[in-house]
Amino acid sequence: QQQVKQSPQSLIVQKGGISIINCAYENTAFDYFPWYQQFPGKGPALLIAIRPDVSEKKEGRFTISFNKSAKQFSLHIMDSQPGDSATYFCAASKNTGRRALTFGSGTRLQVQP
């Protein structure tokens, strides 16, 4: 059972454009939603994270929008740059137990110059 569904699988954006990646979750016990960026051959790096009590969080060019009633959250990358070309993963975890992350399937972003 895939608890976090991510789309699109791949995305091509022109330099300066907005990249939008969407995720939907099923488990209402999830209360922490991070986004990770991964370059080939490297480990994931935390970009930004949000909790359900906030509908939007912005850090630099990265913004998370969160819709609790729809159980959806999305990552917006403003003014996308070629250096943003990477794979992006959304994830979710519960606030109890091991707090293990459940990852989405990933989105390969390519920003064309």
Partner 1 sequence: GAVVSQHPSWVICKSGTSVKIECRSLDFQATTMFWYRQFPKQSLMLMATSNEGSKATYEQGVEKDKFLINHASLTLSTLTVTSAHPEDSSFYICSARQGASEDTQYFGPGTRLTVL
Beta strands in 1-113 (DSSP E): 4-7, 10-14, 19-25, 30-38, 45-50, 56-59, 62-67, 72-77, 86-94, 102-103, 107-112
Tally Cβ neighbours within 10 Å of residue 18.
13
CB of 50 to partner 1, least distance (A): 11
For partner 1, what does the binding mask look like between residues 41 and 80, x meaning CB under 8 A? xxxxxx--x-------------------------------
**Helix spans in the chain (H):** none
Nearest residue to 25 via CA among 68, 81, 78: 68
Residue 99 interacting with partner 1 (CB under 8 A): yes
Instruction: Select the span of 11-19, 60-68, 72-80, 89-97 touching partner 1 (CB under 8 A).
Output: 89-97
Number of residues binding to partner 1, judged by CB under 8 A: 23
Binding footprint of partner 1 on the chain (CB under 8 A): 32, 34, 36, 41-46, 49, 89, 93, 95, 98-106, 108
